[in-house]
Amino acid sequence: MRILAEHHVQLLDPSELMRPEPTFADKNPSKFRDYSVDTTDPLKERVRQTYRQMHLNQTVDFVKGRREHWLKFNTIKMTVREALEKLNDLVDESDPDLDLPNIIHAFQAAERARAEFPEHDWLHLTALIHDLGKIMAFYGEPQWAVVGDTFAVGCRWGDSIVYREESFEGNPDGDNPAYNTELGIYQPNCGVDNLLMSWGHDEYMYNVLKHNKTKLPHVACNIIRFHSFYPWHNGGDYKHLEAPQDAETKKWVLIFNRYDLYTKSEVVPDIEALWPYYQTLIDKYLPGVLEF
């Protein structure tokens, strides 16, 4: 375990480290290990304990409380560049073999998106800022409420959620008949936009974008909001809550996740050389000082 300076925040984002789904198996096996329980493996055990705390504590009431706290947008005011540079102090241990700050991963993902879709400048910026919500970790939010796979609260937990069988034990929503049925608090085919999501950096950044009146298209905001919603976009859960328009969101989330998961390498982009281009996108879609 690295010992980081006091101003650093150390995160292990299991969404980016361990993907057990077969669809990822042929991508880069060293990055996507299984979720089997092995208490002698410190990394696996830390991931398991992160999900245990998440699944025990992420209730409807908890999520509403975090939304009440964070969605006042009175934590800090920063430009996009300042927020990205703050991520230099966040070493995300999503790959234990690399020691790269989040800002490096942000530019790697953005450049991959730019190479594949040069005409979609909104996608380049989306990839650059997709993890900005992790700044919550600097302001007291526990790791299990910042990173990891997300899921809908207020209805039965999806079958493909990692550690689904045992890690929700003790979560009171599981015993609440208002929340433990297939539909729970929702209507059939209500659309994923209308789900109350577990609290994390995805949901926070989505709301930061909307609050600051971003000019990014709605699908870009949804990429950020749902990129960790693996039980839906990869596990096949929550289909009964999907609306027709969700197919477009899912398509772009799956495209984006290729950049998010498979761009990590020791090749560090020349950030200073890239800033002018990305600053033009920031000025176009998300200018000025933002309220976080």
Instruction: Give the residue ranges of the annotated binding site.
Output: 33, 92-94, 105, 130-131, 134, 148-149, 201, 227-228, 260
List the structure tokens of 232.
């839906």
Residue 197: beta bridge partners? 152
Buried b (16+ CB within 10 A) or exposed e, 219-244: bbbbbbbbbbbbbbbbbebbeebbee
Q: How far is CA 246 from the centre of its chain?
A: 18
| Sequence ranges of the binding site for Fe cation | 105, 130-131, 201, 227, 260
Contact 75, 64 (CB under 8 A): no
| Sequence ranges of the binding site for substrate | 33, 92-94, 134, 148-149, 227-228
DSSP conformation letters of 233-244: HTT-TTGGG--T
Residue 92: beta bridge partners? 11
* Coil/strand/helix, residue 269: coil
- CA-wise closest residue to 73 among 213, 221, 212: 212
Distance separating alpha carbons of residues 3 and 215, to the nearest angstrom: 40
Distance separating alpha carbons of residues 278 and 107, to the nearest angstrom: 9
Q: Is the dihedral of CA 157, 189, 199, 45 positive or negative?
A: positive
